[in-house]
Structures are given as structure tokens and as C-alpha cells.
């Protein structure tokens, strides 16, 4: 679903439709009635379990094209507090019960980089919608990232970004993360014609990089090239909304 993010209400306080922080880039949405309503239900649920200081991000939001008000939401909460997953699940269910019903809810939490991260996945049908105001941060990932595939593994994320930006079928042969903040990657890619440019890939990788990504290619045969990628300093926190607990599994560091 595509949002008209540049539409502005007269009373909107949002000056810029984009927001960037340590966890990535976000679209600020302030006019989608259904999204704002669901977002406010989530905020009420989080406060109900006693969390006062937290940040709530929406990683993926979609509305079913055939079933009215059927919504899929993936999100991330960052806090220094603590709670049990069941407490949050029950709080969300209780709040939604007055306005519809939940088909599925999954909640995951882990500590990372000095904070508690909570990731959730919810399918729900909303009824009895009331007006809600405010604005919502929705993830705006680099080209090549499919939000339906979140959470990725680090390898599958890189594979999608490389293949979509180069238009090639690639096999990631070797991935090294060094001390957990660097990237060295070797891939073999099939080509039918010459590779025009690696600039689209370079631009996409800048989303995850504090230093300029270095990319080199070497033609191995008429239909195969070897691709080498080196990033000296990753924006590792920008990976968290996309790979969730794989951040730990894949040996990345803050």
C-alpha cells in the first residue's frame, strides 16, 4: 500500500516527511486515519503495562485489498524498562477487543546496545474506528529491501539488496563482519550482458554505512562476475529493525 506522504493537513505539526535516527530512515505519516488509530491503540497498550519512556516504530504496515480494515503490522519498541511478553500481548488484545479482533500476535524481546528491544507482528481487523491525531514513524528502507521478508538474516538481507540493485542472480560465497562493525563480502553473480554500474548498489549500502562502501568487480567468465564489497564501518543499529535477533546470531555489534 502506498501512502501519499506529502499530503498535509492544515493543523499538521510535521514539517518534514522524513526522519533519520540511529535505527534508520523513516517516513512521518500524519493523515492516514486507520494507521493513526492502530498506532494509538498500541501506545495505550504499552503504557498500560507500565512503560513510560519508550519509542515506538512501525516497520511494516499494510491493509488488505480485499478484506476491509484487515491490517498487518510489524513494529519495534525501544525502552530501558522491562516487562513480560505476555503482559504486552494481553494489553494489546484487551484494547483491540473494544474495536475489533486480533487474528495473530507474536512478540519477541531481547537486550541489545544497552536497551530493551521489543518486536511485534500483529494481524487484526479493526471496527468502531475513532478519530486519532498525531504522527507515526514508518520505516523507509533502501531499495532492494522487502519489508514482507523482515526479519531477515544478515546474509539474506545483503543478498536481496545486491540482487535487486544490480538485477543479477548472486551467490554470496563469503561474508566477514570482523569485530562486528565491518563488512567484507565476496559474491559470484551470473550475467547475460555487461554490468552497467554498481552505483545503485553503492547508494543502497550507504544506508548501512558510516564510511563509503567500496565495491569492485572481476569478470570470471563470459557469464559470471565476482563481486567484492568492503564497508569499514557499518551503521549496525540501522540493521536492527530489519534483522531483529539475527543481529546477535550473526555476530554484529553496536
Tens of pLDDT, residue by residue over 147-168, are: 999 999 999 999 999 999 999 9
3-state secondary structure of 219: strand
Q: How many CA atoms lie within 13 A of 196 on its CB side?
A: 7
In 148-227, which residue ranges form alpha helices assigned H by DSSP?
154-166, 199-205
Task: State the chain's mean pLDDT as an integer.
Answer: 90
Residues 151-249, CATH architecture:
2-Layer Sandwich (3.30)
For residue 6, pLDDT over 60 is answered with no
Lowest-confidence range among 70-74, 170-174, 218-222? 218-222
**13: how many CB neighbours lie within 10 A of its CB?**
9
**In CATH, what class is 18-139?**
alpha beta
Distance CA 102, CA 83 (A): 21
Q: Taking the domains of the chain in order of start, what are their residue ranges?
A: 18-139, 151-249
For residue 4, pLDDT over 90 is answered with no
Could you tell me which residues are beta bridge partners of residue 224?
A: 190, 221
- Please report which confidence band the pLDDT of residue 131 belongs to, taking 50, 70 and 90 as the band edges: confident
pLDDT given for residue 128 in this prediction: 81
For residue 140, pLDDT over 90 is answered with yes
pLDDT given for residue 98 in this prediction: 83
pLDDT given for residue 16 in this prediction: 61
Distance CA 36, CA 93 (A): 17
C-alpha cell at 56: 515506538
Distance CA 145, CA 165 (A): 10
pLDDT given for residue 1 in this prediction: 42
List the one residue out of 44, 73, 43 whose CA is nearest residue 55.
43
Average pLDDT for residues 212-223, to the nearest whole number?
Answer: 91
- Please report which confidence band the pLDDT of residue 15 belongs to, taking 50, 70 and 90 as the band edges: low
Average pLDDT for residues 186-211, to the nearest whole number?
Answer: 91
Amino acid at each position: 500500500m502506498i501512502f501519499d506522504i506529502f499530503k498535509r493537513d492544515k493543523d499538521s505539526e510535521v514539517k518534514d516527511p522524513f526522519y533519520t535516527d540511529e535505527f534508520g530512515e523513516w517516513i512521518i505519516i500524519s493523515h492516514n486515519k486507520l494507521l493513526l488509530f492502530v498506532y494509538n491503540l498500541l501506545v495505550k497498550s504499552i503504557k498500560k503495562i507500565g512503560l513510560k519512556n519508550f519509542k515506538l516504530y512501525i516497520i511494516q504496515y499494510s491493509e488488505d485489498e480485499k478484506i476491509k480494515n484487515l491490517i498487518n503490522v510489524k513494529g519495534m519498541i525501544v525502552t530501558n524498562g522491562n516487562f513480560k511478553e505476555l503482559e504486552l500481548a494481553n494489553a494489546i488484545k484487551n484494547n483491540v477487543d473494544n474495536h475489533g479482533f486480533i487474528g495473530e500476535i507474536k512478540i519477541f524481546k531481547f537486550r541489545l546496545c544497552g536497551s530493551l528491544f521489543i518486536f511485534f507482528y500483529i494481524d487484526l481487523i479493526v471496527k468502531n474506528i475513532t478519530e486519532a491525531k498525531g504522527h507515526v514513524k514508518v520505516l523507509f528502507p533502501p531499495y532492494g529491501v522487502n519489508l514482507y521478508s523482515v526479519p531477515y538474516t544478515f546474509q539474506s538481507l545483503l543478498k536481496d539488496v545486491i540482487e535487486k540493485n544490480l538485477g543479477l542472480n548472486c551467490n554470496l560465497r563469503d561474508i566477514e563482519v570482523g569485530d562486528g562493525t565491518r563488512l567484507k563480502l565476496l559474491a559470484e553473480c551470473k550475467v547475460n550482458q555487461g554490468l552497467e554500474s554498481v552505483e545503485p548498489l553503492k547508494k543502497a549500502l550507504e544506508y548501512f554505512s558510516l564510511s563509503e562502501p567500496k565495491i569492485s568487480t572481476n569478470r570470471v567468465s563470459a557469464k559470471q562476475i565476482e563481486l567484492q564489497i568492503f564497508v569499514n564501518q557499518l551503521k549496525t543499529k540501522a540493521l536492527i529493525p530489519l534483522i531483529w535477533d539475527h543481529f546477535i546470531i550473526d555476530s554484529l555489534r553496536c
